[in-house]
Amino acid sequence: MSEFCVPAVDINPYVTHGTPDEKAAVAAAIDIACRDVGFIQIHGHGIDPTVSAGLAEAMDAFFVLPMDDKKSWRRPASENRGYTPPNSESLSLSLGVESASRMNDFFEAYNVGRSVDDYPDVPAEVAHHYATNTWPVVDGFEDKVSAYFAEAERVAVTMTTIFADALKLPSDFFSALTDHSINVLRMNNYALPAGTDVRLDGDLTGMGEHTDYGVVTVLWADEVRGLQVLGSDGVWHDVSPESGALLINLGDLTARLTNERWMSTLHRVKPPVVDGTIQRRRSAAFFHDANADAVIGPLESCIDDDRPALYTPVTVDEHVRAKLAGSRVGVRNEAAARESARVLKSRR
């Protein structure tokens, strides 16, 4: 077995106004983690445990509802809001991987995000990324989810400040790219009600191989097996959050910005099955995906004679639309050749 480890970093100096030396040590540790793995366990993030517990309570209260009730909260796939039933997505298609012949990811989810109400001046041509939220009629759901959303957003912004320091950029570099960021919280459930049409076989896919789309993802999850990360050794490794920690991973836009000095790490979910039953696993991913009208290309500081630019500039709108069209509509993403090649080379 090859050695694999998701580094743990305490970011408290950036949360509580630490000294310059303390912050420099954190930034250096984050740089190493982003170069080597692309996933990080963060401690010292400052989210009160009661806020995370409230999120879990809200998720449980919604996902326990009858399927017909949950389906009443579906929204058009292009809006990336509301309820997603089982077997209606295939994340691997967001990478253009041919092997996904049907929408077969068995998880269910609920999405909320920043809307045009938050950003009334957003350009009309990209306003579809900022759809208005639908809140299910579940006691306490909106308040508890909104409280966690605000805290996860704070952590994501803190991470971009650390990224700027680690990359030797101005500390406010990411502010111009994220002042009306596409921010979405996706709450996932992998324990489905009895009778749900799911095939429990060797091909069971909770969430297919994919990279996240944006700048950074803040992930809360149960301490339960299921999440797997593709290491540089080409092997899929199990990853679970440490007690009290959040998992941080990089998205495609950060890989593009850094010209793959930092990687957007491939991951998937294969929840454990015991006696023919999918074991309960919950997660909530906060996606900090940058402004829809921002143009993202490799930083000049990450290009040299030995490493020419690997990507041409692209708008966040173009990139996210191509990824969502794959995962949610089934349109093969032709612009993800580098990521799909890594999936196809991996040892399953």
Does pLDDT of 99 surpass 90?
Answer: no
Q: Where is pLDDT greater, at 348 or 149?
A: 149
Q: What is the mean pLDDT of the chain?
A: 85
**Helix-then-strand count for the chain, H and E:** 9, 16
Q: Shortest CA distance to 41 belongs to which of 53, 50, 33, 49?
A: 33
Does pLDDT of 277 surpass 80?
Answer: no
8-345 CATH:
2.60.120.330
Does pLDDT of 271 surpass 50?
Answer: yes
Q: What is the reported pLDDT for 100?
A: 45
Between CA 142 and CA 270 the distance in angstroms is 29
The domain ranges of the chain are 8-345
Helix (H) or strand (E) holding 186, with range, is strand 181-189
Does pLDDT of 8 surpass 80?
Answer: yes
Between CA 200 and CA 316 the distance in angstroms is 37
pTM: 0.88
Q: What is the reported pLDDT for 4?
A: 81
Beta bridge partners of 187: 110, 284
Q: pLDDT tens for residues 211-269? A: 898 999 999 998 877 888 888 888 888 888 899 999 999 999 999 999 999 988 888 88
Q: What is the reported pLDDT for 2?
A: 52
- pLDDT band of residue 166 (cuts 50, 70, 90) is very high
Mean pLDDT of 106-128: 93
- Evaluate the CA torsion angle 8, 14, 19, 23 in order and state its sign: positive
Q: Shortest CA distance to 287 belongs to which of 255, 333, 252?
A: 252
Q: What is the reported pLDDT for 343?
A: 54
DSSP letters, 309-341, are --S--EEHHHHHHHHHIIIII----TT-HHHHH
Does pLDDT of 171 surpass 80?
Answer: yes
Q: What is the reported pLDDT for 105?
A: 64
